[in-house]
Each structure stands twice: as C-alpha cells, then as structure tokens.
Structure 1
Amino acid sequence: MSVQVPTRRLNDGRAMPQIGFGVFQLPDAEAPGIVGRALRAGYRSIDTAAIYGNERGVGEAIRAAEVARDDLFVTTKLWNDSQGRDAARRGFDGSLARLGLDRVDLYLIHWPCPDRSLYVETWKALIDLRAEGRARSIGVSNFTTAHLERIIGETGVVPAVNQIELHPHFQQAALRTFHDRHGIVTESWSPLGQGRELADPALARIAEAHGRTPAQVALRWHVENGLVAIPKTATPSRIAENIAVFDFALAPEESAAIARLDQADGRIGPDPESFC
C-alpha cells in the first residue's frame, strides 16, 4: 500500500507515525493474521503491551511482513507487576524475547501506580535501556501532570510520549497543554471512545458532509490536533478505513463542534491516580 502516514517528531529526534495499529484484547493466536493485514494496509506503527498477552503473535507478524524492520515503529509497555529498577529490566527482557526482536522503537511504563511509588525508579531503568539502544525511545502511559513533574524533576529526562485515554468526549486539554510545554507527544488510546464516538450525532453529521464515517472524522480530528492515535479493530474493512484519513480536512466550524463534545466526566477507563 502507498498510504503516506504523517509523523510527529519526538523530543529525542526520532519520528513516530500519527496513526498506528492497537492490539488491545487481540488474542495471541489471531495477532499474526490481523497485524499482518494491518501492515499490508499501510500501517507502520504497532502498539502492544506485556499485559495484552499477544507480543508473540505481534512479533510473528513483524517477522513475516514484507516490510523492512527499520520502516516499522514497534511499541510495547511494562506492566505494573514489573515496576522497580531490576524488575523493569526483567520485564523488558521478557517482552523483547516474546516479540523476537533485538529492540523496540518505544517502551512505555503502562501505569504510574502511585500508591506503590516505584515509577521514578522504573523510569530510571527505562533511561538505562535507552542508553543501551534496546529501547530507542522511552515514554509513559496514563501519567498525570503530577506524575510527569516528578519523574522529570528527579531525573531530568522528559518522556518522549505520554499515551493517555483521549477521544472527543474526553479531550484532556490541560494535560495536553503540559505536554506541549515540555515537548511530550500525546498519544491517544481508545481514540474512538471504545466505539462511543461512532454513534455521536455531531460526528455523524460531519461524516455525512464529507462522505466519510464517524470513525474517520474522529481520527481526522486527532491528526489535525497533532495527536498520535492507535485505533484497534479486527474487522478488515475498518482496518483500511481507519488509516484512510489523510485526504480530507475538517472545516473550522466542524472542529469547533467536536471541541464542544468534551466532558469532564468523559473518562471510560481507569483513573490513573488509583489504578494499579
């Protein structure tokens, strides 16, 4: 496929595709076929995690793909039970072994688990992994402003990425402002609100005006706001649909209508302050 996916420049100088393929809840046995289809459709960024239980299948798809490894951007994440400096290194080694790769392009702390107070120590382990070249970029996931301020203040190293729940009904404006001020790229998990956005009347009206789907409108909104999005689907038609968002643009009034969908209580997933 000749899909040209724009990229975001990370604060370490590397580039990350703005649309990636998420594999949350994708069974390991199905991962080779579905991830392989995504790669053939033009995706070059794959996002997995230790807790997803599908790193082996993702790695199999990568090795079978007719795509050069240097053209791919592979992300995985450290699960909560592997926090701590030594445990994090073991967790990383396990992910790398399951993927069958000698490096990943981005390695994230999956959740801060603030009650355990190990995320600074864990971040130091990721800094070491980056220095060794086995994690080319490092970042975090589900970190709040307070968590980010602490790791930056205690290590001097700013994450390249913070992957957070973000969709039109939960836009996280204050956290995104902090990211922009510190050169952190915002990556959206659940960019379609676990399907909630597909039924929104405002998105439906905009989609009809463009001859698109509500999912494409929501993902286009992410792209135009400088966000990285990782929609997950196992449906072949939607795999193709979700990456076909680079040949239309939202009008200013359409972007404003989407901005009005934001809700303070729009969170679907766990609260980072208490989840672990």
Structure 2
Amino acid sequence: MEKDLEVRSQVTLIVRRWYIVVLFGLLGALAGYGLSFVNPPIYRTHSVFAMGLNFDMTTPLSQYEEDFALGKVAGVVLSDDVIAKAIFILTQREDTVNDELILEDFKSKILLEQKGSRWELNVFGEDPELIAAMANSWAEAAEDSLWDAYAHALQANSLKYQLESINKELRFLKTEDDRNPQNRSRIEDLEKLISEMDTQIQVELELGRGLTTFLSFEWTEQAMVPQGPATRSRGGQILAGNLLGITMGSLMIILFRSIKNKPGRFNIT
C-alpha cells in the first residue's frame, strides 16, 4: 500500500513539474540531432554469388570435407590480392576515390556472409553510391580470381591423370627391363618426365589455391545503391535523445525530492 502511494506521489510530482520534463526532452532531442552529424547513417549493400559443390562430379562428402572445400573459396574471396584487384578496378572507374583511403579502409568495410548456397559480399559505408561500386568491384575481382584458380585446379587434376598413366607404363617397362635392355632409355626418359610433371603439378596446385575441381560458382546479383540506411536514421537518433531526456528529467525530479525530504533538510513540496 505504501509503495502504491509512493508511486502515485512520484507521478503527481512529475506531472506538476512537467516543464522540467519537457525541457530535458528538448535538450535530449537537440543532443540526438547533434550526434546525428557526428555519427552519420551507415548504408549497406551486397553482391551475390551462387556457390556450391557439383556432386555429379564426385562421391558424397562429409560435412567437414564440404566445409573445407568451401573454406578455400572464402579464402580466395577475402584474400589480399583479390581486395587489391578490387581496389584497382574501383579506382579505374571512380575518379573521386582516394587510393590511400581505400587501401586503408576497404577491408574494414566488407563482410562475407554465407547463407547456404547464397554468398553475400557485403559492403558498409556512409556513401551509398560508393559502397555499391565497391561491392561490384569486389565481386568482379573475386570472380576473375576464382576462375583463374579454378582453371589451374583443373590443369593440376588433368596432369595427375596423365602422370598416373605414365607411371603405369614405367612400372611395366621396369618389369620387362631384364628381358629387353633397350627399354632402359625409355625408362630414363619417363623418369625425367615424371619429375618434371611432379614439379608442374605442384605449381598448378599452388596457383589453384586449394580449390576443388567440382566447385560450382556464379556471380548472380550486382550490388544496388541502397535507398535507406542500415543503421538508425537522423529521426531515430532525435527520438532516442528525446526519450532519454524525458527519462532523465523524470529521474531528476524524483531525485531532488528525495534529497529535500532527507531528515534535517527543509522540505519543499
């Protein structure tokens, strides 16, 4: 009962001091308006890739194997050389872009989100037109690098099949060596060829960047210029400041009343 009376008393006091609440609300709204210039709205856009594994070309994989294969793809998309290529593409098309600023900030503005087979190359920033250009430059650079690496992965795989055939011939000739000494020259040639192919395969694997040959990918959506911010707008910040001010004003009224009502103090209500 006493608590109910106390709450009613506080509400009555706040209503009587409404002008203080209004003043704090206005001050909060002004503070929110000012902060909206210090912290401008952040926009977000993305390009989209359809990414997956072609199981018609391979046996079923474990979840770990799938994650590992797709992790290699993500490594390419987020690699420094892809970002550098994206920056080059961007600066060639956007005359107002500052090279040094982009080099410093590009990676801090991007986020790769994997939503099943839908991979979103997200870019955040204050300039909606610029981030759309950044997202498309990043997607173009990623697509070029993925196709290049994929071609090398296919070449490495092709060389492995050729090497397997050569090794079979070598094993056969070695079993015939004692009966046909003329095969020795051919054996030496094959051993030299195998050594050269081993080296070539390693080079192709490195250039293939660990991509699997049963990878499937396609750049399906270009980034669009966002029409609205991803974070709160200026109006939202003003409203938040207003509500915070009203709350602070109400608390200040209650606090000062408590101080005045302490024993030994002159009570004014």
The verdict on a shared fold, with TM-score over 0.5 as the criterion, is no
Q: How would you bin the TM-score normalised by the shorter chain?
A: under 0.3
TM-score with structure 2 setting the length: 0.22
Larger Rg: 2
| Higher helix fraction (1 or 2) | 2
Query: Comparing both chains, which one has the higher relative contact order based on Cα–Cα distances under 8 Å and sequence gaps of 6 or more?
Result: 2
TM-score with structure 1 setting the length: 0.22
